[in-house]
Amino acid sequence: MKFLLFAWAWMPKTNSRKNSDSPTLIGSLELKGVVPNLSDIKSSMDILGARMSSVVNNPVQNSIEALVEELPSVFQARVMDVSVMCANALESIDGRYCNTRWGLCFDELEISPKWLREELLGSTRSIDQRFVLKLTWSPILPQGHEADPESTQDFDSIRLWYSHIVDAHDFCNELATRAIQGRLGVKNVTAEDLLGSSLYAREERVGADSKKMGAVYERSGNYYDAMKNLASFDESFSLVLKEHGLDPCDPYTESIELRDKLLRKIKPIVLLRETFLNRKGKRSRKRPALYAGKEVAFAMSEGNPRRLLNLINDLIDLGVKGEWRDIDLSNVSSESPIVVFQSQAKILSAASNNFLMSIRAIPCNRENSAENSLYSLVDRIGKYLHSRLFSNDFPVDVNGSFRVEEDVDEALSSLLKTGLDRGAFVYVGASQQDVPTKVESSRLRLSFMLSPSYRVLMRNDPPASLYTCISASPDDSNQMVLEL
């Protein structure tokens, strides 16, 4: 309602204008017993607002009914009707406001009353052309009420999340670099200088004309060492190599096709199993920790600027030894960053565990027990995806997401929506413009923020059935033992 007062405050005023405009404002707002000046009108509005807040926070049926009867009828009108009324009043007060366009922003509508959500979304079908609405919603758009608006015709959907790890890279890289430069006071330092490049993502794709990119598969590379070491104690992986004509004792090939179709595909799985599976041999300490590097930090942030900045600050505060001015940037590289990989892994794993604990702290609904909480659902899905990676048989094909069945029950659907709201799940659409209208039949994944906690991959592999994920009971006898 203060929309009218805010706009009125910008107008040039004289004493005569105050006297002539105030009755217009009082009449539009249906205020009674108010002296015709702006300060008294504002005070009257503030008092009404305070009373409404008090009644809402301490609801008593009699007080609510009394307040509703006392409020001017305009306070019970539709949101957009009141906005149009205010705009008309402003135009009558000052002709310069004729044909002015107004932008109204409504944030976090997923926690607003249902009637308000339906009213605002329904308004996009037929709205006064002077108004532009920005409605910020959870990933699931509502549907099912009369005259549903249609995307691209009545409104444009702008996704504020990223389904794929590469989508947010450029934004994260620029934001992280600026934040690091701000902390350092040095212009030429980058996110790669601070964090280096993740072993997961380093030189991921191989091209026939790129010796540098192909180096990851050379005998001198970390990945070659990981394959050779894993094959020495994981018989199932050794068998996979043999089936593709590779020697487990020397898994090297110059075939670009074999590198692209097999070695690149299984690379993160090899690195995970070689790092965490228990065996007599020890992994070389020269190879960097897995959950480290700028790509991992970017993925864990999910492109959320606040989360990314928190991670960057933690990495700087906890991972940098000594004074910044003592760091010799000439010795920094993607494989030897300012914050060493082992320190990054500890800091990012702690952030992942903290996020998981925040999910665990989310209260259960009355009808749900702890076993049917959001945390329980996340934990079952995470453990299922983990079990697929660490089964006795080396998995060339793994699941990295899950598909929600059309007949999912209401309680489970509600948990999934809560998980989307809280960032535990991320919707995986067919494109960057794809926005779901229901959770049923949707493809979701765990947030990459949880990857270190469950030791799973940070990529959108093919989906498993949700019911398969939550009903599976990983058999310890079919899993190799993890190294703690």
Domain edge (last residue) among 41, 73, 100 = 100
**Which of the 8 DSSP states describes residue 33?**
S
pLDDT of 283-320, one tens digit each? Answer: 544 556 899 999 999 999 999 999 999 999 999 999 88
Residue 420 falls inside a structural domain:
yes
Four-residue CA torsion sign, 435, 439, 444, 447:
positive
Going across the sheet that includes 443-446, the strands are: 425-427, 443-446, 401-403, 463-465
Q: How many domains does the chain have?
A: 2
Write the DSSP string, 163-220. SSTTTTHHHHHHHHHHHHHHHHT-TT--HHHHH---TTTTT-S--TT-HHHHGGGSTT
CA-CA distance, 180 to 316, in Å (whole number)? 8
Across residues 435-462, what is the average pLDDT? 92
pLDDT of 94-114, one tens digit each? Answer: 778 788 888 888 888 877 888
Residue 89 falls inside a structural domain:
yes
Question: Can you give the C-alpha Rg of the chain in angstroms?
Answer: 29
CA-CA distance, 159 to 142, in Å (whole number)? 15
CA-CA distance, 448 to 454, in Å (whole number)? 10
Which tokens hold the place of 343? 């320190």
Angle made by CA atoms 164, 166, 168, in degrees to the nearest 5: 90
Residue 211: band (very low, low, confident or very high) from pLDDT cuts 50, 70, 90: very low
Residue 370 falls inside a structural domain:
yes
HSE, CB side, 13 Å, CA atoms: give it for residue 212: 1
Residue 339 falls inside a structural domain:
no
Q: Is the pLDDT of residue 408 over 80?
A: yes
Write the DSSP string, 121-139. HHHTTS--TTEEEEE---S
Identify the weakest region by mean pLDDT among 56-60, 125-129, 254-258, 476-480.
476-480
Residue 112 falls inside a structural domain:
no
pLDDT of 132-175, one tens digit each? Answer: 888 887 777 666 444 455 655 667 777 778 888 888 999 999 99
Mean pLDDT (the chain, rounded): 80
Residue 187 falls inside a structural domain:
no
Q: Which helix (H) or strand (E) holds 306?
A: helix 305-319
Q: How far is CA 183 from CA 167, 180, 286, 295, 309, in A?
A: 26, 5, 29, 20, 11
* Residue closest to 38 by CA, chosen among 64, 6, 76, 62: 6
Position 14 scores a pLDDT of 42
Domain edge (last residue) among 75, 100, 125 = 100
In which domain, by residue range, is 407 found?
362-484
Q: How far is CA 145 from CA 118, 119, 132, 178, 458, in A?
A: 7, 10, 22, 45, 38
Q: Which helix (H) or strand (E) holds 116?
A: helix 114-123
CB 214 within 8 A of CB 259: yes
pLDDT of 183-207, one tens digit each? Answer: 878 888 999 999 999 988 765 443 4
Residue 478 falls inside a structural domain:
yes
Residue 210: band (very low, low, confident or very high) from pLDDT cuts 50, 70, 90: very low
Comparing 430 with 445, which gets the higher pLDDT?
Answer: 445
pLDDT of 305-364, one tens digit each? Answer: 999 999 999 999 998 876 665 677 777 777 889 999 999 999 999 999 999 999 999 887
Position 142 scores a pLDDT of 65
- Name the residue with tokens 């991959």: 457
* Residue closest to 408 by CA, chosen among 419, 400, 398, 399: 419
Position 147 scores a pLDDT of 46
Position 279 scores a pLDDT of 62
Domain edge (last residue) among 33, 67, 100 = 100
Position 152 scores a pLDDT of 58
CA-CA distance, 52 to 59, in Å (whole number)? 10
Backbone dihedral region for residue 278 (phi beyond 0: left; psi -120 to 50: alpha; all else: beta)? beta
* Per-range mean pLDDT, top range of 1-5, 36-40, 114-118, 166-170: 166-170
